[in-house]
Amino acid sequence: MGIGSGIFLFIVGAIISYALNFDVKWVDQNVIGYLFMGGGALVFLISLFSSFKKRSTTVTTNTAFDSGAGGKSTKAETKSDTI
């Protein structure tokens, strides 16, 4: 959802900056459009990096047997990260 929101903000900012032509004395439409585009790019990048972080996995397996009966103990740990 964040990636789509970033793209939406960027497109709205581009439309405000380049396609619309309105005249309001107290606001500059190019600045508003550039702010939307910058915010959209920032939201897109943050969402992209956080989605990569969510895909990391850690699997830990512990197996223990009774040492009095001559059993063995096994410990395995696997970490994978896409970044």
Domain spans of the chain, in order of start: 2-66
pLDDT of residue 33: 93
CA separation for the pair 3, 41 (Å, rounded): 9
8 Å CB contact between 40 and 8: yes
At 83, which amino acid appears? I
CA separation for the pair 35, 30 (Å, rounded): 9
pLDDT of residue 12: 94
pLDDT of residue 39: 95
Q: What is the block-wise mean pLDDT of the chain (83 residues), using blocks of 10 residues?
A: 90 92 87 94 91 67 62 61 53
pLDDT of residue 68: 61
pTM comes to 0.62
8 Å CB contact between 22 and 52: no
